[in-house]
Amino acid sequence: MIYLDNSATTQPFSEVLQTFQDASMQYFGNPSSLHSAGMNAEQLLTKARTATAKLFSIDPKEVVYTSGGTEGNNLAIKGTALEHVSRGRHLITSQVEHPSVLEAFEQLENAGFEVTYLPVDASGRVSPKEVQHSLRKDTTLVSIMHVNNEIGTVQPVEEIADILQHVPHTYFHVDHVQGVGKVSLDFAHPGIDLCTVSGHKVHAVKGTGFLYVRQGVSLSPLFHGGKQEQSLRSGTENVPGIAALAKALRMSLERSDELDRLEGLKRRLMFAFQEMPGAVVNTPDDASAPHIFNVAFPGVKPEVVIQSLAKKGIHVSTKSACASKLQQASPVLLALGRDVETATSAIRVSLCFDTTEEEIDQLLKALHECLPEFLEVMGAKNA
């Protein structure tokens, strides 16, 4: 099997699974319990939190463990909006965010908040000047993703943070789910208040992640009942998952010297598809992440491409895994100005550090073998 859907989820590292198993067996106590089994679990939790914070040069108290990206984004967005509603009801995001962000804002709109959805350019980038021009006295939150999950565009979040650090009472949230381990981000930037990380994108187990909450930032919690995670996320902590997450993050960040090789593989894809008849490349040439590539075959249903490749043992995807089963045009590609036909026919190839050049060769070979069928469909559509 050739697995090229790593932006949907990654295969856990074997060492990470061993850590999860060991912690599950040896540290099964509830970390809130006062007996020795509980205190041992609490010690492991503290050790993992300290290790995670050190990786990102932040304070351990700024690490709030969650179940992953969706929960982290919802806690950051709804938690900020609801906590600071007395200061204002205006929020800012972009048109190309992950569904977990866009739907959180939609819910807040239904609750009486006003949301500005910023447009993007043809490469999918938000303009920092547009962010600045959209700010109002009643703006309490700006939320912009770091790396787009469909096309890999890297947003200028640090430039936006430079602006927002001088704007009192407006908090800045960054969805860093697709960027961790692939595109660096300074969590300690004074303009970044909240940042979401998901474990299963970096070879940890599913159901793990954390939200960076800068000291001094107050949130309204989504869950109540146990006062865990500084009262921001009640519920018994997933200690084995958290320990495994710390291991996966360390192992992923240690492989940063392989990013150039990963970028080279993406460039190979880009050059090959730019020369391929009927293909439309959607990932920008510059300022895009090294592991995400998006291409469309207008007129060909993406599931046809995906199933054709699956028969050859190659696994790719369409848009966000959270929305891949929805038969509709990609809002991200529409925001870029692509036509509906292109926006409904895109596939995403997403790599990891274990992806090889031989696997990319086999993907391109398989697509060339399928190309006559695709072109026939496209020709019939245009006839």
Whole-angstrom distance, CA of residue 314 vs CA of residue 362: 8
Write the CA distances from 32 to 60, 196, 235, 248, 367, integer angstroms: 18, 25, 10, 25, 54
Per-state percent for the chain, helix, strand, coil, to nearest 5: 40, 15, 45
Residues tagged active-site:
322
Whole-angstrom distance, CA of residue 126 vs CA of residue 155: 7
> Does residue 146 contact residue 175 with C-beta atoms inside 8 Å?
yes
Closest C-alpha to 149, from 11, 353, 348 = 348
Q: Strands of 292-296's sheet, edge to edge?
A: 280-281, 292-296, 346-350
Measured from the Cβ of residue 227, the count of other Cβ atoms closer than 10 Å reads 12
> Does residue 149 contact residue 318 with C-beta atoms inside 8 Å?
no
Of the CA atoms within 13 Å of residue 90, those in its CB half-sphere come to 10
Name 293's bridge partners: 349
Quickly list H helices, the chain.
Answer: 14-26, 36-55, 69-83, 99-110, 128-134, 157-164, 239-253, 259-274, 302-310, 331-335, 340-343, 357-382
| Residues in CB range of 367: below 8 A, 6 or more apart | 276, 309
